[in-house]
Structure 1
Amino acid sequence: MKNNESIFIDVQQETLNLQKASDFVNHPEAGAVNLFVGTTRNHHDGKRVIELYYDCYREMAIKELRKIAEKMLEKHDLKRIWITHRTGLVPIGEASIILAVSSAHRKNAFEATAEAMELIKKEVPIWKKERFGDETVWKEEKLIENDGEGKGEK
C-alpha cells in the first residue's frame, strides 16, 4: 500500500481551495491529473434552490473518505489523491467537494474519479439539506445510474 503522503483528506467549513488540490496531486510520474469540483446549483427537480447545507459525523466521514482514497490508490494505480468536502452553508456556485487524482495515464484518473464519487455518495456520513423557496428538505443520497444526466434515480 502507498503511504499517507499520497493522500489528503479533510472535511471543513471553510471555502475549498482548488489550487491546493491541484498542487498536491501534481507528481513527476503523472501524465494525468483529473480535478472534479461538485458545486451548488440553483435548481433541483424543477425547484429553485436557495441554498445547501451539509452536516456530517466528521470523524467517521474522514475515516470513510480515507478508506475510499486508499482503495482508489491501489485499484487505479494513482500517484496521489485529494478529497475535501465542505460542511455548513454552501452558497450557489460554490464548491461542496473537490476530488483530485493523478496517475500515469488518463484512463486511470477518469475511472478513479467516477468510482470514488459514487462511493462517497453511498458510504460517507455526510448529509445535505436543500432549502427551496417554501420548504427545506434533508436529502438522503440516492443511487444514481450513470447516464450522464442524473436520470434513473432508484
Structure 2
Amino acid sequence: MEIRILPDAFDPGAELARFSTDRSGTGAIVTFTGLVRDDGGALHALEIEHYPGMTEAAVTAMVAEAEGRWTLTDALVVHRHGTLRPGEPIMMVATAARHRAAAFAAAEFLMDYLKSRAPFWKKETTRDGTSWVAARDEDEAALDRWT
C-alpha cells in the first residue's frame, strides 16, 4: 500500500509503470485518474486544502478497508493539494489483484470514498469569483452500495 498526498504535479503514466513492475502474482491492475474538469470554460483554478497527517490517516484507513474486503496484492493512492489548473491530474487510484473483479471493485470503492469522505476541501476560482465546492447528492448516494 502506498499513499501520497502531494503539492506537485504527477505523471499518471509513470505512476502506472512503477506500480506495474514485478507483479508476477498479479492478474489485474485497475487505474483511475481524476482530472480538473472545467464545465463551461469559466474555471481558472481549483484549490484543494487538507490537514497533513489527518488526511493521510483517513486515506490509509480507506485503503486498509479495501484490502480487507477484496484480496489485493497492492494499492496506490496519489492525491494533489494546492492550486490546480483545468486538465491537470488531481488524483490516481491503482489496485492490483489476482483477478480483475477484485481490482475493479476495490478501485471503485476507493474512488467513491475519496470523492465523499477523504478530508479534502475544494475551492473554485472562476471569472465570477471564488466559491467552496459543495458535496453532491449523487456522490453521497454512490457510497450506499458499499454499506
Structure having the higher helix fraction is: 2
Moved over 3 A (4+): none
| Residue 72 of structure 1, aligned match among 49, 66, 73 | 66
Distance 1:85 1:92 in 2: 16
- CA distance 1:22–1:64, shift in 2 (3 Å): farther
Give the Å deviation of 1:22.
Answer: 4.1
**SS across alignment from 1:72:** helix
| Residue 111 of structure 1, aligned match among 105, 111, 129 | 105
Residue 18 of structure 2 corresponds to residue 20 of structure 1 = no
Distance 1:58 1:143 in 2: 27
Give the Å deviation of 1:28.
Answer: 1.4
Give the Å deviation of 1:141.
Answer: 2.6
TM-score of the superposition, structure 1-length normalised? 0.82
Distance 1:143 1:103 in 2: 31
- Structure 1, unpaired ranges of 5+: 1-6, 147-154
Is the CA contact 1:16–1:98 (under 8 Å) kept in the aligned structure 2?
A: no
**SS across alignment from 2:10:** coil
Is the CA contact 1:79–1:104 (under 8 Å) kept in the aligned structure 2?
A: yes
Give the Å deviation of 1:52.
Answer: 0.8
RMSD: 1.6
TM-score of the superposition, structure 2-length normalised? 0.86
